[in-house]
Every structure is written in C-alpha cells, then in structure tokens.
Copies of this chain bind each other. A is one copy, B any other.
Amino acid sequence: MVRDLSHPLGPSTQVYPGDPPVEASPHATHDEDGYRVTHLSLGTHSGTHVDAPSHTEPDGRTLDAVPVETFAFDARLVDCTDCGPRDAIERAALPETDAEMLVLRTGWADRWGTDAYLDHPYLAPDAAAWCAERGHHVALDALSVDPTPTPNAAPGEPDGVPAHHELLGADRLVVENLTNLADLPGRFTLRAYPLPVAAADGAPVRAVVEDAE
C-alpha cells in the first residue's frame, strides 16, 4: 500500500496569506475539442509543497539545482501533537537521530481549510538552527515552519521567517502542508519528488510513503 500525504489542489485549497489562489478552469472540452484539458493557476507554494533554499535566500539554490535523489528522504517522525495553537516546537522536543529529515507531526492537518489552520505551532528559531547544524531537512503537517501572520499573533513570537532562514540558509529543504501522518512508523522514506519547475523557489508535490502499513 502507498499512503498519500498530500492535500488535494483545487479552488478550495487553503493558501498562505497573500499567495495566489489555486484556480482550475476548463480549457478544452469533450463537446468542443474531443478531449478535456484544464487550465491551472497556482503559486509554487500551494498545497503540499517543497521549499527550495531560494524561497527565502537570494543566493540559495533553486529547486532544479537539487539532485532528484534528494527528494526520497530518510525520515524520522516526531510527535508534536501536545503543542497548542501558536506554540513553539523547542529544541528539547527533537530527537537525536541519524535520519536525514525530521517530520514534525503537529496534528494541524485536521484543521486544514479553516481559520484555525493558520494558528499552527512553529519551529523555534534555535531548534531550526539545531536541525540545520545536524544536517536535517524538516517537514511538517502545517502551513509553515514559522508563525503565520494572523490577528492571533502572541507576544514573543519571532518576526519574519527565521526558521526558514536557519534551514534554507544552510541549504536544507522544507516540506510543508503534509497530511495523513497519524500511525506512521517512526522511521520511513518520504518520497516528495516536486514538479520540475525551472529555476523555482519551490513546487507543489505529491508526497507519499510506500509500505506504510
């Protein structure tokens, strides 16, 4: 069996504040053309997606400069489901592991499509720095590794995108908006081969785990 860790992409797909909406409109139709083709309009960080270093680093690598084998990640699951809204995931919550990637399960995927999805836990900047130093890529089932700006922002929250800078500045990768992380084994291969968008800052992906159960 293959487990799908991706949210569907369509007009109801929730996006990061300010990002382009996901739009899908008929381009060719069975009646007029004999086949159906759809015109898609979306941002590179729509739905389940990979951030390339160039997303936040002007001199960072674009997605096509990352060798394709990188995207089959040897991943360690980290249970962060005790975090509440806008809580920081601290260094102490992260395990020592030789896995390439930490997959942070916050449980926030259950709130996908609602305002509450924006008030997700985030990775504390020093925890992100520790991940970068250890060479870890980071993935999570939430909108961003940094706090998403909302009216509910709490005192003491970091400004900007410091966890992104720590990770992408160290040439690590970030995968956001995963779903379906419950009951995964502790260690697995996350396959997240992104669309081969030329010179991109990131791209949507169909993320899967094979042999998950």
- A residues touching B (Cβ–Cβ < 8 Å)? 1-4, 6-10, 12, 18-20, 24, 27-28, 30, 33-45, 47-48, 54-56, 58, 64, 67-69, 71-72, 160-161, 164, 191, 193-202, 204-206, 208, 210
B43 & A197 in contact (Cβ 8 Å cutoff): no
A201 & B72 in contact (Cβ 8 Å cutoff): no
B193 & A40 in contact (Cβ 8 Å cutoff): no
A4 & B43 in contact (Cβ 8 Å cutoff): no
Instruction: Give Cα distance in the complex from A33 to B193, angstroms.
Output: 27
Instruction: Give Cα distance in the complex from A205 to B206, angstroms.
Output: 8
Q: Of all chain B residues, which has the CB nearest A54?
A: B36
Instruction: Give Cα distance in the complex from A210 to B160, angstroms.
Output: 38
Q: Are A9 and B206 also in contact (CB < 8 A) when A27-B19, A36-B201, A40-B43 are?
A: no
Instruction: Give Cα distance in the complex from A56 to B31, angstroms.
Output: 10
